Structure 1
Amino acid sequence: MSKKGDAEYRWNSGPFQIGIVPQGGAISRIDWIRPDGQGIINLLRPVTEQDIASGNPSSLGCFPMVPFANRLAFAEFEFDGRIVKVPANRPPSPHAIHGFGRGSEWNIERPTVDSLRFNHKYDDPESGFVYVAWQEFKVTAQDVTLEIGVRHLGRTPMPYGIGLHPWFPGGDDVSVSFIATDCFGTDEDMLPTTRTVIDLGRDFSDSKMIRHNRGLDVHYTGWHREADMVWEDAGYSLKMLASERFGNLQFYIPEDGKTFCVEPVSHVPNVHNRPEFKEFGDVLVLDRNQTLSGSMTLIPTLLARPDSGLVDDDDIAQPESRDYSLVD
């Protein structure tokens, strides 16, 4: 196990090895030991030592989004009769993106056998965002869960949103499926402009190969909080289950198709400035000491091959049920 203070902190639990980069609170790896004894699979996109040393969470496997997810137009919004300004953190764009957590140092707490928690504090009385945020891994023999949460510590209420931004390995053999009710059209800055029906090009209710959808960047609402990903050539699949708070989804496939993102989030991007979108996923106003949390669970499975000797899914122990209630 690595030491605190290292650029990458590694932690082993059950069949998983987790890598955490404290700068930015990013996840560098979730390695799964194959149950057939044939090595390991990194469930997230592979990263290099240079990526880890770069200090750029967007180059790693997963990063946190807090106290808002995705884009916030012109880095400001009106709340409680005043204009709240936040850093525009992707110059030269005038907009803010992904919150403050990925630009902060996270502190790793002492792990237990099956859980590991890390946190960061943010204190900006001028904006009103004063909070402590956490991420916590919980591991079983079948799955790994990552929870993100935030506790408001300011004297006056503030609106909060959260999300997780995992990057998965792409390729010509990879397919994805999920169900949602609606999605959003966007402007040239990828800010939502209108809710719309899910047309054929954005419908993933039946499994689709990501290679046919490069350049896609869509926000979905009414997501059923479940996604299935398959890497046919590598011989495994990954199911993502999200907690109730994560009723929205951002799905992104870069033009090169070498990676893709299935991002569980709590609200529509820029809903702070678009009150007409609140019914499709709103931020949550927290008073002092109130919390907001959500989680994603990743369940890897080897694909059954003819004459492989692998057991059917029905014979594999299924993960225990979880209580995903929101704590106020």
Structure 2
Amino acid sequence: MHDTPDLLWLHAGSTHLALAPAIGGAIAALYTLDSHSALTDPPGAFHWLRPATPAALQARDPLRMASFPLVPWCNRIRDGQAQVLGHSLALPNAGGMDHAIHGLGWQAPWTVVGSTASTVTLEYAYPGGAWPWAFTARQQFSLTAHGL
């Protein structure tokens, strides 16, 4: 996974975080190296989240990442239809799913707007459209030797 070009890495002590800004602003992996986990990839890794597989990274599939942002809504909106504040919403159903699910942010690339050795900030700006309200979402990931 370390040789995957689209990933941004943060390292702190034995803890490692792989981010995939271009794949829905997702987390691809979060693990701690541990000498007791010899049969993992990478060897000795304790994965805090299910890591993305090489096939998921190659397919650029946010649904198969370790985690991804749910903005501007979470869960599903039945048949992509809803009434919100007097607005009738007709939202797209992603990937042939029956319902509009998990928002819009996971389906779009995110921009790196800040980074240091221990912190990365990602941003997604939605101009409006099927979801009638423009918004900007930010994720800030800070990794220390004690965790994310």
The TM-score with structure 1 as length reference comes to 0.39
SS of residue paired to 2:72:
coil
Contact 1:67–1:99 (8 Å) recurs in 2: yes
Residues 110 and 14 (structure 1), Cα distance of their counterparts in 2 relative to 1, 3 Å cut: farther
Which residue does 1:208 correspond to in 2? none
> Match for 1:121 among 111, 116, 125?
125
Residues 53 and 126 (structure 1), Cα distance of their counterparts in 2 relative to 1, 3 Å cut: closer
Contact 2:10–2:143 (8 Å) recurs in 1: no
Give me the whole-angstrom Cα distance separating, in 2, the residues matched to 1:92 and 1:12.
36
Q: Between the two proteins, what is the percent identity of the paired residues?
A: 24
Mapped pair 1:11 → 2:10: yes
Residues 77 and 51 (structure 1), Cα distance of their counterparts in 2 relative to 1, 3 Å cut: same
Larger strand proportion of the pair:
1
Q: Give 1:27 shift.
A: 0.9
Which is higher, the Rg of structure 1 or of structure 2? 1
Contact 1:70–1:97 (8 Å) recurs in 2: yes
The higher-RCO structure (CA 8 Å, 6+ apart) is 2
- Structure 1 segments of 4 or more deviating over 3 A? none
Contact 2:52–2:64 (8 Å) recurs in 1: yes
Give me the whole-angstrom Cα distance separating, in 2, the residues matched to 1:123 and 1:30.
31
Mapped pair 1:52 → 2:57: yes
Residues 75 and 7 (structure 1), Cα distance of their counterparts in 2 relative to 1, 3 Å cut: same
1:264-279 to structure 2, matched below 5 A, reads: none
Amino acid in the other structure paired with 1:21:
A
Give me the whole-angstrom Cα distance separating, in 2, the residues matched to 1:66 and 1:79.
16
Q: Give 1:130 shift.
A: 0.6
Amino acid in the other structure paired with 2:30:
I
Which residue does 2:26 correspond to in 1? 26
Contact 1:115–1:138 (8 Å) recurs in 2: yes
Contact 1:7–1:53 (8 Å) recurs in 2: no
Residues 109 and 82 (structure 1), Cα distance of their counterparts in 2 relative to 1, 3 Å cut: closer
The TM-score with structure 2 as length reference comes to 0.80
Residues 126 and 50 (structure 1), Cα distance of their counterparts in 2 relative to 1, 3 Å cut: closer
Give me the whole-angstrom Cα distance separating, in 2, the residues matched to 1:35 and 1:110.
33
Give me the whole-angstrom Cα distance separating, in 1, the residues matched to 2:20 and 2:117.
20
Give me the whole-angstrom Cα distance separating, in 2, the residues matched to 1:126 and 1:102.
15
Give me the whole-angstrom Cα distance separating, in 1, the residues matched to 2:112 and 2:12.
16
Q: CA RMSD in A?
A: 2.6
Give me the whole-angstrom Cα distance separating, in 2, the residues matched to 1:107 and 1:17.
21
Amino acid in the other structure paired with 2:132:
G
Give me the whole-angstrom Cα distance separating, in 2, the residues matched to 1:84 and 1:134.
24
Which deviations, in whole Å up to 9, do the C-alpha atoms of 1:231-278 show, x marking residues without a partner? xxxxxxxxxxxxxxxxxxxxxxxxxxxxxxxxxxxxxxxxxxxxxxxx
Contact 2:123–2:137 (8 Å) recurs in 1: yes
Q: Give 1:92 shift.
A: 4.8
Contact 2:17–2:143 (8 Å) recurs in 1: no
